[in-house]
Amino acid sequence: MTALADSAAAQAELLALLTLRFTPALGPRRTESLRRHFGSAEAALAAPLTALRGVPGLEAKTVAAIGTPGPREQAEAELRKAKAGGVTLLGRGLPGYPEALEALGDPPAVLWVLGDLPDLPAVPRAVGIVGTRGASPHARSLTRDLAADLARAGVVVVSGLARGIDTEAHRAAVDAGGLSIGVLGSAVNHIYPAENAELAGRLTLVSEYPLGTGPAQHHFPARNRLIAALSAGAVVVEGELKSGSLITATHALECGRTVFAVPGRAGDPRAAGPHRLLREGAVLTETAGDVLAELGWEEGPAARLPDLPPEQARVYAALSTPATLDDLRGATGLGLAELQTALVMLQLMGLAEEVGGRWTRR
């Protein structure tokens, strides 16, 4: 078969998968059951009613809906919208679909992707970082360090683009020159929360929802299973006992992934989730080195820093540990005005930040 024919066959199968995706009462499990029973989604749509009735788990209403014009028209319209919006659709069983998602019991039949999706094999060089929206300043700072260091080690940072820990993880990873994947509980062209629209433009976005779909409460637990599967391990920074972070950790365990947890302050409700995970055997995590060592990954080459003027390079070198202005003046020999100018420039480049009166690397 020629490459052109291969491409045409793949497009036909993608259209068939998308048609099944839009067929009422056909979730990922039933769609996959049909695909396996008949050998392809295209063959399932062409199957007679008598053959469809022989597929286990299909109700009469669902069988009657398979192959009707409505879902196919929706699928064709969706493909047109995706092409116009620069969105890639990946179908299960077709080239480009992430192998990592096969760790799930119910991988999406179709995945919507905006941006460049890296190769995500069965155990990807990727780590999920999740936590509460109302994160503490300490947790935010730790998340930035963790995500930036993982990104510099060539690890893809995966999260859910929510406020708080997710936002910090994504931004630090891309600021460090790495790749970050945002898994959405809405369509890739419907960014939630809206304030993260600019950040979303720097990420690769992934969703299992058709274009134009807004956020809904029940989408987020489903979204969390994708974060877990697309990562070799999930790091929970902060989260209450009943939180999406712990749902992600549960999915990670079900996928055979490693769960990491960051210890917090005793009595802080935001630390209750990680502390429970630690009691249950999660890997205690404070730095990227903890994650890399547990997963057996070498740190890899650090992302190349931009060439810095002498004063900025001197200040950056002195930021190997958190330091006050007085500490930095002593370490660098710079006057206060020169030091403050250098710090502002490093901050603008995303290389330094001030937390609690101390300056540190990002």
268-296 pLDDT per residue, tens: 889 899 999 999 999 999 999 999 999 99
3-state secondary structure of 358: strand
Over pLDDT 70: what percentage of the chain?
Answer: 95
pLDDT of residue 306: 62
Q: Please identify which residue in the block is written with the tokens 């299992």.
A: 208
Q: How far apart are CA 196 and CA 192, in angstroms?
A: 7
Between these two residues, 197 and 68, which has the higher pLDDT value? 197
- pLDDT score of 213 more than 80: yes
Q: How far apart are CA 258 and CA 277, in angstroms?
A: 11
- pLDDT score of 127 more than 60: yes
User: For residue 291, what are the contacts with CB-CB under 8 A and spacing of at least 6?
Assistant: 127, 146, 150, 155, 233, 235, 260, 283, 285
Q: How far apart are CA 332 and CA 266, in angstroms?
A: 37
Please say whether the beta carbons of 162 and 184 come within 8 A: no
Q: Please identify which residue in the block is written with the tokens 């929510």.
A: 162
- pLDDT score of 165 more than 80: yes
- pLDDT score of 3 more than 50: no
* DSSP letter for each residue of 133-166: SS--HHHHHHHHHHHHHHHHTTPEEEE---TTHH
Task: State the chain's maximal CA–CA distance in angstroms.
Answer: 85
Lowest average pLDDT, out of 55-64, 68-77, 204-213, goes to: 55-64
pLDDT of residue 329: 86
pLDDT of residue 44: 93
Distance of CA 41 to the CA centre of its chain: 27
- pLDDT score of 124 more than 80: yes
Instruction: Outline where 153-243 has alpha helix (H).
Output: 165-175, 197-200, 219-229
pLDDT in tens, 291-309: 999 999 976 544 445 667 8
Integer CA distances (angstroms), 341 to 219, 308, 325, 352, in order: 45, 13, 12, 12
Strands (E), 164-217: 180-183, 204-207
Rounded to a whole number of angstroms, the distance between the first and last alpha carbons of the chain is 52
3-state secondary structure of 234: strand
pLDDT in tens, 177-188: 899 999 999 999
* Among candidate residues 281, 305, 307, 306, the one with its CA nearest the CA of residue 294: 281
pLDDT of residue 300: 54
- The mean pLDDT of 199-227, rounded to a whole number, is 95
pLDDT of residue 307: 67
Token pair of 298, please? 């070498």
- The mean pLDDT of 213-237, rounded to a whole number, is 94
